[in-house]
């Protein structure tokens, strides 16, 4: 008897929000477990050059074949469904892509940290100052959608219950307020939740003021901070970044207040995401060295095909990358 397995698919409503639908599949998963040694033999059989089988087996054991297969995939010949490697493809090439992707994630996460901290601070401080309400995050009158607010409040309650931060413990012990002020809450909430709090603000003037802090209109800022959150989560889960295509297309910036990039650059590739981060970092820290670090990373891995990431020729000459943000 075959089991019925639900398969999820991502759908978009006419309001632009995303939800999951499920279809029922009757086919059972056909693959069986293979040991690292078995997998090495299989790769060799498919045409991959492996100079030291024991070392390759050790890498597969420590990294996992499923994770490593994402870096083997570009080495497959066309049609890729046949699972035959191109001539002169070697295991070391896949490892080099894996190492590059790891370095890329560390580079991106370092830049995202600056953006995340600035966004949290700007959100908490601007709304608190404009409304003279330091407890606004837990005030239902501040938000447009009560259902979304209630879900956010449930997440806040959960984070507060589990938090072991000293400043949260101190607040609990000293004060009788049911919730801490905004600048404390934004420090313990996941970035995705903080983004939802911004999106649900009832007063569009507040959202405009926060977006203007980053020289962006509200729709573009909301889109770009969502992309930043998705890239952050990808980095945190050690997932593939280098040639991954965006599931959500970032909104295009039609009238930039600073120098931006050429229109022909694909918004669905990693380079566009990196450019979004560069925009934010330029605003936050105009004298940043992001370009230098990126060029160093690419020079350390000269064999990596950056066109698969969406990099155009002479990318460093794009206005965003060759000028000060307000120049």
pLDDT at 323: 61
pLDDT at 264: 84
Question: How far is it, in rounded angstroms, from Cα 232 to Cα 236?
Answer: 6
* pLDDT tens across the length of the chain (327 residues): 444 455 554 454 443 444 445 556 678 888 888 999 999 999 999 999 999 999 999 999 999 999 999 999 999 999 989 999 999 999 999 999 999 999 999 999 999 999 999 999 999 999 999 999 999 999 999 999 999 999 999 999 999 999 999 999 999 999 999 999 999 999 999 999 999 999 999 999 999 999 999 999 999 999 999 999 999 999 999 999 998 888 899 999 999 999 999 878 899 999 999 999 999 999 999 999 999 999 999 999 999 999 999 999 999 999 999 865 444
Question: How far is it, in rounded angstroms, from Cα 137 to Cα 230?
Answer: 23
What angle (nearest 5°) sits at the alpha carbon of residue 217, between those of residues 212 and 129?
35
pLDDT at 19: 46
Count of all residues that appear for the chain in the document: 327
Rg (CA), the chain: 23
What angle (nearest 5°) sits at the alpha carbon of residue 246, between those of residues 241 and 249?
150
Question: How far is it, in rounded angstroms, from Cα 210 to Cα 182?
Answer: 15
DSSP character at residue 134: T
Question: How far is it, in rounded angstroms, from Cα 230 to Cα 270?
Answer: 12
Q: DSSP letters along 166-185, please?
A: HHHHHHHHH---SS--HHHH
Question: How far is it, in rounded angstroms, from Cα 23 to Cα 5?
Answer: 8
Domain positions in the chain are 5-95, 100-322
The alpha-helical segments, DSSP class H, found in the chain are 36-45, 53-63, 65-72, 91-131, 146-162, 166-174, 182-188, 191-199, 204-213, 218-236, 270-284, 290-300, 319-322
Tell me the pairing of strands 5-12 and 18-25.
antiparallel
User: Taking a C-beta distance cutoff of 8 angstroms, is the pair 227, 248 a contact?
Assistant: yes
Question: How far is it, in rounded angstroms, from Cα 282 to Cα 324?
Answer: 7
158: tokens are 């959960």
pLDDT at 291: 96
Say which residues have a Cβ less than 8 Å from residue 37's Cβ, sequence separation at least 6.
53, 57
pLDDT at 263: 78
The whole-model pTM stands at 0.87
In DSSP terms, 12 is beta-bridged to 18
């Amino acid at each position: 008897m075959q089991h019925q397995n639900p398969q999820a698919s991502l759908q978009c409503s006419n309001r632009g929000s995303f939800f999951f639908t499920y279809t029922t599949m009757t086919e059972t998963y056909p693959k069986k477990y293979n040991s690292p040694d078995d997998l090495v033999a299989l790769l060799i059989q498919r045409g991959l050059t492996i100079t030291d089988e024991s070392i390759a087996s050790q890498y597969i054991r420590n990294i996992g074949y499923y994770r490593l297969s994402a870096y083997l995939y570009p080495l497959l010949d066309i049609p890729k469904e046949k699972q035959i490697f191109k001539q002169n493809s070697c295991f070391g090439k896949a490892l080099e892509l894996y190492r590059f992707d790891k370095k890329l994630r560390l580079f991106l996460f370092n830049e995202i940290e600056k953006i995340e901290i600035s966004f949290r601070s700007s959100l908490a401080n601007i709304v608190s100052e404009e409304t003279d309400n330091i407890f606004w995050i837990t005030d239902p009158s501040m938000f447009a959608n009560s259902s979304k607010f209630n879900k956010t409040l449930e997440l806040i309650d959960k984070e507060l219950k589990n938090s072991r931060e000293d400043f949260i413990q101190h607040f609990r012990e000293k004060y009788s307020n049911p919730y801490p002020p905004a600048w404390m809450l934004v420090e313990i909430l996941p970035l995705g939740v903080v983004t939802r709090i911004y999106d649900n603000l009832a007063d569009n003037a507040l959202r405009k003021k926060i977006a203007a802090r980053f020289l962006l209109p509200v729709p573009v800022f909301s889109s770009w901070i969502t992309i930043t959150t998705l890239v952050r989560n990808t980095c945190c889960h050690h997932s593939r970044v280098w040639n991954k295509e965006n599931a959500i297309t970032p909104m295009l910036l039609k009238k930039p207040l600073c120098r931006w990039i050429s229109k022909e650059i694909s918004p669905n590739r990693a380079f566009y995401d990196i450019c979004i981060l560069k925009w934010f970092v330029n605003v936050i820290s105009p004298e940043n060295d992001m370009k230098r670090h990126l060029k160093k990373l690419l020079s350390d891995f000269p064999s990596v095909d950056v066109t698969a990431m969406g990099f155009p020729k002479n990318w460093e000459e794009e206005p965003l990358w060759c000028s000060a943000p307000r120049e």
